[in-house]
Amino acid sequence: MEKTMKSKKRLIIKIIASVLAVVVFLVAYYAAVLCFGFFRIEDNLEIQSKGKAGKKAPVGEPLTVLTYNVGFGAYSDDYSFFMDGGEYSRAFSKDAVVNNIEASVELTQSASPDFLFLQEVDIYGTRSHYVDESQMFKDAYRLYDRIEAVNYDSPYLLYPFDEPIGKNKSCIMTFSRYNIKSGMRRSLPIEGFPNNFFDLDRAYTSTRVYTQKDNWLVLYNLHLSAYTSDGKIVDEQLKMLFEDMKKEYEDGNYVVAAGDFNMDLLGDSSKYFERSEGNYTWAQPFNTELIPEGFALFASTNAPSCRNADSAYRGDGTDFVITIDGMIASDNIEVISSETIDTGFAHSDHNPVKFEIILK
């Protein structure tokens, strides 16, 4: 009897040891796949423009610039995101993604932009139920020229464990009513291990548009880092961007940078919008001292451009709202107006921002 009990104990111990060994192996295997699967897209990557626009951008006439982070089609006003302290890691459904992107397409078209800057447009994604959102915009803007660049292409991420965010490939897109000569993708500096798995890869694109003055209008589309440890990496990203912009300006070109800066472009958005308070690295004041001579920052104050998606949007002054979407332009461009299109965050955690400009 005693021998039988000892045999059973040894068997149980062997089973437990075997299970633990399998678990350790699987964890180690996944860690190896994650580390070796992570890669950065090469810098200075040329992008071929596509489209049917043939005209040069006019000088001395009003032009409309629209920038919009579409939030990978997930953020209806009742959506919350786990990285913001909310509940979900994926969009509610494929239909929800399609409906949100269709509404975003209609919204941008209603503004009749000459230049459209889009961020967080998924090409393939677990989080967006594998809807090719970029194709939906291509179909809608088939008469425009465009460039498209992958912002990040992440390996399969197992967090959160109950519903992993999975594998996701997302892009930034620039559409122009006027002829695009060429495009370039620049890889931005990012934080090192392990934060690179939370904030993923980052990039901006430059797009060269012919003008009637026979110089270039250079458009920079950007989506800077958000989920960083202290927010300082965004300053490094801005320094790199501004070096490129300065060179183009010194060459006599018109220069516009627009997109999601993931910093408080108003310095303190709470002075303009009723909101709750919060301490977020992406909500730090924009460092205006970094802006080169000959450039200025433009951001709208009529409505916030972004909400923190820690819960469904309430719209009663208890949400954390902020303006992080805006534009920087060279002084050979007159900025006539800027306006945040207040959608009540119906289809994204961002509102689109519209600017009227004139190339002097």
pLDDT tens per residue across span 164-207: 888 999 999 999 999 999 999 999 988 655 454 455 678 999 99
Q: In sequence order, what E strands does 74-126 have? A: 115-125
Count helices and strands in the chain by DSSP H and E runs: 5, 16
Distance CA 207, CA 185 (A): 9
Enter the tokens of residue 50.
């596509």
Residue 26 pLDDT > 70: no
Q: Tokens 């913001």 map to which residue?
A: 84
Confidence band for 279, pLDDT divided at 50, 70 and 90:
confident
CATH architecture of 42-359: 4-Layer Sandwich (3.60)
Please give the C-alpha separations between residue 298 and each of 35, 226, 290, in angstroms, as whole numbers: 39, 20, 14
Residue 347 pLDDT > 50: yes
Work out the burial of residue 280: count CB atoms within 10 Å of its CB; fewer than 13 is exposed, 13-18 middle, 19 or more buried. middle
Q: How many CA atoms lie within 13 A of 204 on its CB side?
A: 29
Write down the pLDDT at residue 96. 98
Lowest mean pLDDT across 141-145, 191-195, 206-210, 262-266: 191-195
∠ CA(120), CA(122), CA(125), 5° rounding?
130
Distance CA 183, CA 337 (A): 27
Enter the tokens of residue 242.
């501004």
Round the average pLDDT of the chain to a whole number and report it. 89
Q: State mean pLDDT over 305-333.
A: 97
Please give the C-alpha separations between residue 139 and each of 199, 213, 289, in angstroms, as whole numbers: 30, 31, 41
Lowest mean pLDDT across 2-6, 201-205, 224-228: 2-6
**Which of 39, 192, 159 minimizes the C-alpha distance to 89?**
159
Write down the pLDDT at residue 6. 59
∠ CA(48), CA(52), CA(54), 5° rounding?
95
Write down the pLDDT at residue 229. 65
Which residue type sits at 165? I
Residue 14 pLDDT > 70: no
Residue 354 pLDDT > 90: yes
Residue 280 pLDDT > 80: yes
Residue 16 pLDDT > 70: no
Residue 317 pLDDT > 50: yes
Residue 62 pLDDT > 70: yes
Confidence band for 296, pLDDT divided at 50, 70 and 90:
very high
Confidence band for 209, pLDDT divided at 50, 70 and 90:
very high
Distance CA 117, CA 183 (A): 13
Residue 12 pLDDT > 60: yes
Burial 14-52 (b: 16+ CB within 10 A, else e): eeeeeeeeeeeeeeeeeeeebeeeeeeeeeeeebebebe
Three-state DSSP class for 6?
helix
Q: State mean pLDDT over 68-79.
A: 98
Instruction: Give me the count of residues in the chain.
Output: 360
Phi and psi based region of residue 92 (left: phi greater than 0; alpha: psi -120 to 50; beta: remaining): alpha
Residue 255 pLDDT > 70: yes
Enter the tokens of residue 305.
């451009």
Give the strands of the sheet with 166-176, arranged side by side: 50-51, 145-157, 166-176, 115-125, 62-69, 353-359, 333-340
Confidence band for 93, pLDDT divided at 50, 70 and 90:
very high
Residue 121 pLDDT > 90: yes
Work out the burial of residue 287: count CB atoms within 10 Å of its CB; fewer than 13 is exposed, 13-18 middle, 19 or more buried. middle
In the chain, % of residues over pLDDT 90: 74
141 in Cβ contact with 175 (< 8 Å): yes
**Pairing assessment for the beta strands 166-176 and 145-157 based on DSSP bridges:** antiparallel
Distance CA 320, CA 306 (A): 9
Per-domain residue ranges of the chain: 1-37, 42-359
The radius of gyration of the chain's CA atoms, rounded to the nearest angstrom, is 23
Work out the burial of residue 243: count CB atoms within 10 Å of its CB; fewer than 13 is exposed, 13-18 middle, 19 or more buried. exposed
Confidence band for 325, pLDDT divided at 50, 70 and 90:
very high
Residue 95 pLDDT > 70: yes
The DSSP code for 332 is T
Write down the pLDDT at residue 226. 81
